Amino acid sequence: MGAQNGKDLLIKVDMNGSGLFETIAGLRATRVSFNAESVDVTSMESAGGWRELLSGAGVKSATISGSGVFKDAGTDERARQIFFDGEMPEFQVIIPDFGVVEGPFQVTALEYAGNHDGEATYEMSMASAGALVFTAL
């Protein structure tokens, strides 16, 4: 995978539960992180005293975060609704020249800020809330 435009890393949200995904408006910076806990099964019999891990065990998770300018668009309203209603709708993360990750996420943080001489900004964080599906591009 060669160099890519950061603006092409997109976070989309299902707007009404019907699979109608829209890019979250105003985002300037986005980040996705995948994690997997390891299960240590090292014993006295482990070769050379090297740690051994149990394949396929542990908890997998993903987090998404983004920040941008407040645009008061439909997706901003949807993000607020998701947070205050405690919903866990489907999100899509488009990773250029890599693939699409889709699944349920919970909005875990929603922050708004602004200076008197600048634009209103926001930050949001999401945590995976179920199985994710990866589709290669």
Q: What is the pLDDT of residues 27-79, one digit of tens each?
A: 888 899 999 999 999 999 999 989 999 998 899 999 999 999 877 788 889 99
Q: Residue 9: what pLDDT? A: 86
Model's pTM, two decimal places?
0.85
Local structure of 75: helix, strand or coil = helix
DSSP secondary structure letters along 76-119: HHHHHHHHHHT---EEEEEETTTEEEEEEEEEEEEEEEE-TTS-
- The enclosing domain of 53 has a CATH number of 2.30.110
Domain hosting 110: range is: 6-136
Q: Is position 1 within any domain?
A: no
Tokens of 117: 């001489």
The mean per-residue pLDDT over the stretch 14-26 comes to: 91
Backbone torsions φ then ψ of 71, nearest 5 degrees: -120, -5
The answer to whether residue 1 scores a pLDDT higher than 70 is no
CA–CA dist 80, 131 (Å, integer): 23
Tokens of 2: 């060669």
Domain total of the chain: 1
Q: Is position 60 within any domain?
A: yes
The mean per-residue pLDDT over the stretch 1-20 comes to: 83
Please give the mean pLDDT across all residues of the chain. 91
